[in-house]
Structure 1
């Protein structure tokens, strides 16, 4: 343990699309390599050659990653095989479940709201694992999408999502990550599990798309343990890389099925954007003065917990 170093530290047509939305009938696609946005090493999967995201390739999910590999400000490295981030696990194949089993997971946390779980299904997990429900409010996104896409009305869809409205809606979602007390409690409980839950490691958390609720949690964790802003933002934006092909297939399917004449209206809901993250951070600054203030006052994490996060996550 590096004690000294720690102190530096509708119907079948739709499901949810942002914070997890995928038509249930759309087949998963392999991700492209195109970027769309500016413990100890686990023995069961290869270590990347350089710092950066580490995807766990699966057939039934496209955005599953190991948070290990990033360098901290003082040159240490985040451990592999400790914490994983993911999109929905309800469509995993038997082979996928076998891959997860090799990760040695002890705890899985599901940020989806009950409506998402009812529609998409519960997680498919290795024997002996049951997901812990820790729902984070989607600000009405799931219901809104069920209404707007299910209407098949291009005028209504344009009125609800066009002219920057989809972007603005996502910014409101991110504000709730900071402003909503229940949401803060869910994020805090997850970070405490990582810090103090010896029996909970390795741990995986997910929403449906693995980009917003999961992305915010990952950003907080990386920043709390001393990963520089640029790398933490890079991890956040990497969802656009891994989701690009799948999300494009969703839009094409909606167009071919006649559900939407202009499915590109969904792009702001499907993507992560620096503007969304900045909106949450602006709310952090307004309410708590700094990210450290949000961690300590907003999430209620004391110094011991923040130091324990560093100890668990950093070599």
Structure 2
């Protein structure tokens, strides 16, 4: 992207802020009316571009979404994914075809230790950028490893798993280290010299889901479309997660593997826990971007100029 274009995008973005059209037009829900209805119809026809692999089930191109500004998020620049540690040789060839220049891994060291490092094309290595899961992975290892149905119920039953998830989502907003990791990733995406990149966690749904929700909304993708992208993990992961539960029951490690469902799924109320915290701490989504993540107007303008056509 040329310097002249960056200067122009920054000037337009700053002018929009000055007259109040941003972030209101870009980051708020549309008003009722024919134009809003037609936008909703257009958005409802959008399809999510999944990258089919054998060793990962939640790999997607974030491009294709329409924005409030009349643009469309470019494809082939940013991908979201679950862990890439179980890719087959054929999968690695497919990933090679994406032309990735960077892979960001949000997993904590314990996850990498148990599940394995990413399998990537030659010359490409993951960048570790751990985002806290509040000890959830360790809790799961302990609960499942015990093989004790009473202990498993005590740890995960009675709404405790759901509460755990809501707490994790709040820390996406409140934890300074987590905010720093998300902010660094957004700055890299905005960098005109950064080529196609992919970020992921273990299941590609919580840390990755929040990162994707924030990115899409920062690009002025309507909130309902960003939420649909977040919730789509249930579609892509449903069959695989059911197989995991069936295997745990068959092996005798869990009598009631349905205790895991609240941890395997994404839910609107999990996302709402983060956005409610965001509004409480920063007043708005734009406040979260600028104050919470420390992104200035120039960076947000570069993000728009690079990612939206």
Query: TM over 0.5: same fold?
Result: yes
1:153, 1:260 within 8 Å by CA — same for their partners in 2? yes
1:74: how far off?
Answer: 2.2
Partner residue in 2 for 1:176: 171
Give the Cα separation in 1 of the matches to 2:118 and 2:142: 25
Give the Cα separation in 2 of the matches to 1:201 and 1:227: 22
1:291: how far off?
Answer: 1.0
1:98: how far off?
Answer: 0.6
> How many aligned positions are there?
275
Give the Cα separation in 1 of the matches to 2:97 and 2:248: 36
Give the Cα separation in 1 of the matches to 2:265 and 2:192: 32
Deviations 1:177-202 (A, max 9, x none): 0111000000000000000151x320
1:137 counterpart SS class:
coil
Structure with bigger helix share is: 2
1:163: how far off?
Answer: 1.3
Instruction: Find 1:59's aligned residue among 45, 51, 54.
Output: 54
- Equivalent residue runs for 1:236-255 within 5 Å: 236-255=230-249
TM-score, reference length from structure 2 = 0.86
2:192, 2:306 within 8 Å by CA — same for their partners in 1? no
TM-score, reference length from structure 1 = 0.85
1:50: how far off?
Answer: 5.0
Give the Cα separation in 2 of the matches to 1:290 and 1:154: 43
Give the Cα separation in 2 of the matches to 1:103 and 1:243: 22
- C-alpha root-mean-square deviation of aligned residues, in Å? 1.5
Give the Cα separation in 2 of the matches to 1:239 and 1:146: 22
Deviations 1:146-185 (A, max 9, x none): 1111111111111111111100000011011011100000
1:192, 1:305 within 8 Å by CA — same for their partners in 2? yes
Which structure 2 residue ranges, 5 or more long, are not aligned? Answer: 17-21, 27-43
Instruction: Find 2:279's aligned residue among 285, 290, 293.
Output: 285
1:226 counterpart SS class:
coil
Instruction: Find 1:256's aligned residue among 250, 263, 273.
Output: 250
Partner residue in 2 for 1:230: 224
Q: Which has the larger radius of gyration?
A: 2
Partner residue in 1 for 2:210: 216
| Stretches of 4+ aligned residues off by more than 2 angstroms | 1-9
Partner residue in 2 for 1:272: 266
2:151 pairs with 1:156: yes
Deviations 1:234-253 (A, max 9, x none): 00000000000000000000
1:50, 1:69 within 8 Å by CA — same for their partners in 2? no
1:205 counterpart SS class:
strand
Give the Cα separation in 2 of the matches to 1:175 and 1:117: 23
Give the Cα separation in 2 of the matches to 1:209 and 1:203: 18
